[in-house]
Structure formats: structure tokens, C-alpha cells
Chain A
Amino acid sequence: MTDQEILAGLAEIIDEIAGVPADEVTPEKNFVEDLDIDSLSMVEIAVAAQDKFGVEIPDEQLKDLKTVQDVVNFVSKNS
């Protein structure tokens, strides 16, 4: 899976869970500060990402993933 494909899949998930339009989900965006996504939504996004990409993002790692690019990198590295 390319980083572009992961980003597109992640944008779909974020749209469904947090109602953020997919075109606003760009790599440099910070989840909390730019996209107004809280810690519980992050857990839901992690769970959905596991279903979609087959990569588990444990709570301990999740708290360090601050930007969209961080999640793309994590999925890319662990898939």
C-alpha cells in the first residue's frame, strides 16, 4: 500500500467518524489543533484503521501520533 493510498483510506475513516471532509485531511494537519478530533475519536479512528489496514495501533503508541502524517507513517511501517 502506498502512502497515498493510506492517506486516502485514513481520510475516509476520519470523514465517517469525525465528520471532517476528506479534502481537509492533509498530511501536516494536527488531529487535535487543526481537525478538532479528541482522544476518544482517535481511539475510534485507530479501531477503524485496524479494520481497514490490518495494523493495530495500541493506546501507548496512539498518544504519540499527533498528525495525519504520523498515522500514515505508522501504518506504512507496520503493514
Chain B
Amino acid sequence: MIGSRVLAFGGYQPDKVITNDDLAAIVDTNDEWIRSRVGIVSRRVAGPDETITDMAEAAGAKAIAASGLSPASIDLVIVATCSTDVPIPNVAASVAHRLGIGAPGAYDLNAACAGFCYGLAAASDSVRAGSARHALVIGAERMTNWLDWNDRSTCIIFADGAGAAVVGPTADGEPAGIGPVVWGSAGDQADKITIPPGTQFLRQDGQAVFRWATTAMHSVAVEACTRAGVSPADLSAFIPHQANLRIIEGIARKLGVPRERVADDIVHSGNTSSASIPLALSRMAEQGRLQPGTPALLLGFGAGLSYAAQVITVP
């Protein structure tokens, strides 16, 4: 059977920066409180006319360029997103067209903040099964579409951006570059993160989500390592969803991964839902914090509640 691997990453963030002090001017909060509770110093938000499709296109173009492939050789495009303002048309087909990818399989998927890991798993399985040769997986969000700027428990956290990865087959004899996905859901807690029907605003029970993430995600991370045949101590990088720095540090501490190997992109990017993992990967690569050929653990978790984790070989 053919194996699959990640060939390249790419990320895109809008230009506009919102600092904690900017938020303190419009809602009852302050820099110290935000830093200590969620670890965010600043976040990026899309411009008024900047769409999810625009951001997805920019991230996808970077990933394709870094892969060295021509757009024409891609035959599957998956966009993970949960923040589109309308459900039709999907984002994937438009992005594919703009990138010059001719008539690929193209669909959006919604697993909220776990979306990128779900998309990566679907792309990996498609390549391994022969349904696709090369896949482009994008996580793209405009969370500000759904933010209540008067709700200090959410507006300080969420942000906009996109990140992408190109997935392709392994060379003959090369070991698999994307480990088995460990995924699941907890629909009994669906009410913890919602956009209540008939409203336009995201609401979350922050403390309940915090408890769930710091309790349940450890074993998911361990199982993803086990299924990939890697010890957590051997991970060169750990890239959890950038939800909250306190959650990230809590999971990393339990897992025993030293801090310098753990993604902390949330500090200047905020929580960009499905975009956060590929954005953090791109950032770590730029900073020289990723060593090609070594194992890195990805762990997505969020609304649903849903989660997914897999170990990849750094391209």
C-alpha cells in the first residue's frame, strides 16, 4: 500500500493587529488579565473585505509553492472551517479554482478547532487508498464573523487566519509520514461551545471546556504517539490547537514535552480555530524550531466537542 506524508506547509495572517489594550478600550478587561488567563498578547483580524476564501487561497498558495508541486498535480482540496458566513457555496472549490488547481475533488469539513487534524487524516487516507495523488488541506477561519465584541469571555480569544499543508505519497520504501489518527467526540457536551440558534454570536462555557481539554486530551495525545510507534519523549515538536496557553502548558506538562518544543503561536495570533495548528507549524518552521525527518504531534480539540491527533514526520 502507498504511504502518505506531509510535503510542505504555508500560513497566512491578516495585517490588522488587535492588542489587549485595544480590547480594554471597548470591553471591561485588561492586558494583565488576558495574559494570565489565556496567554494572548495580540491577535490578527481580517480586513473588512477579506474573506475566508481570500485567506485560504493565500495560505494554500504558500504551501503549494513550498512543496515544489505544480497546482495541476493536486487532485483533492479539503478546507476545514466553522466560521463561514454562508454555507453555500463551499470554500474549497473556489479556492481550488483561484489557485489554478483543475477540477479537483473539493469539500469543506466542520470539526471546529479539530478541523485541520480531521482534514489531514482524510487527505492521508485518500492518498493511501488511491482516491487522490496529492491533496491540499487548509484550515481557514474568520472567527470575527461570529464574535460579540461586548462579550469579554470570547472576544479576547478568537482571531482570523489560515494555514495549509500539501499531502502526497511516500517514495518507495520510505516509512509513512502521517501516523494513524486518533479521533473522537463528546456530543454530550455539545452545549459547551455554540452559536445559539437565531443569534450571530459564539458562546462558550470556558471553565467546562478548560476542564475537558486538560483532562481528556492527555490520553488522546498518548494514544496518537503509541499508534505511531513514538514515545512522547522522542517528539521534536508538539503542536496542540492554540486554544489557551494555560491548556497548552497543562497538556504539555502532563505529556512531559519540554516547553521549547511546544507551539505557542497563540501569544501573537490568538485562537484561530482550525487554522491554528498549520499556522503554528508554519511559524515554528520559520523560526527554525522544526527538524525535518523528526516526529511532531498534532492535537486538535474544540466545539462538538470533537478532537483528533496524529504524529507526522516534519517535511
On whether the beta carbons of B215 and A40 are closer than 8 Å, the reply is: no
Q: How far is the CA of A59 from the CA of B207 in the complex (A)?
A: 8
A43 adjacent to chain B (CB < 8 Å)? yes
Name the distance in Å between A57's Cβ and chain B's nearest Cβ: 10
Q: How far is the CA of A40 from the CA of B208 in the complex (A)?
A: 10
Chain B positions 29-44 with a Cβ under 8 Å from a chain A Cβ: 36-37
A contact face: mostly helix, strand, loop, or mixed = helix
Tell me how many residues of A have a C-beta within 8 Å of chain B.
10
On whether the beta carbons of B215 and A38 are closer than 8 Å, the reply is: no
Interface-centre pick from A38, A39, A40, A59 (highest chain B CB count, 10 A): A40
The digit string for A19-48, where 1 denotes a CB below 8 A from any CB of B, is: 000000000000000000011100110110
Name the distance in Å between A61's Cβ and chain B's nearest Cβ: 13
Q: How far is the CA of A1 from the CA of B234 in the complex (A)?
A: 37
When distances are taken between beta carbons in the complex, the residues of chain A under 8 Å from B36 are 38
On whether the beta carbons of B207 and A38 are closer than 8 Å, the reply is: no
Interface-centre pick from A47, A50, A59 (highest chain B CB count, 10 A): A47
Which of B37, B208, B250 is close to A44, meaning CB atoms less than 8 Å apart?
B250
A binding-site residues for B, Cβ under 8 Å: 16, 38-40, 43-44, 46-47, 50, 59
User: Which 8 A/B pairs are nearest by Cβ-Cβ distance?
Assistant: A43-B211, A47-B215, A40-B246, A43-B210, A47-B214, A40-B210, A44-B250, A59-B207
Known: A40-B246, A59-B208. 20 other contacts (CB 8 A): A16-B253, A38-B36, A38-B37, A39-B207, A40-B37, A40-B207, A40-B210, A43-B207, A43-B210, A43-B211, A43-B214, A44-B214, A44-B246, A44-B250, A46-B211, A47-B211, A47-B214, A47-B215, A50-B215, A59-B211
| Interface pairs (16), CB distance under 8 Å | A16-B253, A38-B36, A38-B37, A40-B37, A40-B207, A43-B207, A43-B210, A44-B250, A46-B211, A47-B211, A47-B214, A47-B215, A50-B215, A59-B207, A59-B208, A59-B211
